[in-house]
Amino acid sequence: MNTATLRLALIASLLFNLGVLAALGWQQLAERASASGTPLLVRELQLDDRQQRQWQDIEAPFMLELNTSTLAIQQQRNQLIDHIFAEQLDAELIRAAQSTLAELQNRQQQLVIEQLLREREILDASQRQHLARLLMRQSPQRSDVETLHNE
């Protein structure tokens, strides 16, 4: 190997190692933050004790319902994929599975909206504005399909 190739390999290795170290550092920071037992959003909005109690009262049932909803959506999505790639194509089964999936997604969206409305009642005006900004800054996640087709 020539010197330029070795130098390039060394730089690539160094960058990779730095990336790994940065990821481990970030993970430790995240673990320390979550080890406090206080959810990030509670800390971010600086909820007082009363607000934290109210938040906890509505958060646990919401997360349980959201997780159940997410699982149902994943199962229905898988069923739709199975229908799309079945040996015998059945357009009616595909339409029915798609309709059910859309209904489940719509219910989940409604669930989230209802939770945000409950949270809104707990927060003061400044906290509501802060939460709204946090939500607006979230970028929509790329779907797995987009990732598979673009990478």
Which tens digits make up the pLDDT trace of 74-119?
999 999 999 999 999 999 999 999 999 999 999 999 999 999 999 9
Predicted local confidence at residue 42, as pLDDT: 85
Contacts of 128 (CB under 8 A, 6+ apart): 120
- With beta carbons less than 8 A apart as the criterion, state whether 65 and 111 touch: yes
Which tens digits make up the pLDDT trace of 59-69?
999 999 999 99
Question: Lowest-confidence range among 37-41, 53-57, 113-117?
Answer: 37-41
Q: Cα angle at 74 between 108 and 135, to 5 degrees? A: 40
Separation between Cα atoms, residue 127 and residue 7, nearest integer Å: 52
Contacts of 77 (CB under 8 A, 6+ apart): 101
| Percentage helix, strand, coil for the chain under 3-state DSSP, each rounded to 5 | 85, 0, 15
- With beta carbons less than 8 A apart as the criterion, state whether 128 and 121 touch: no
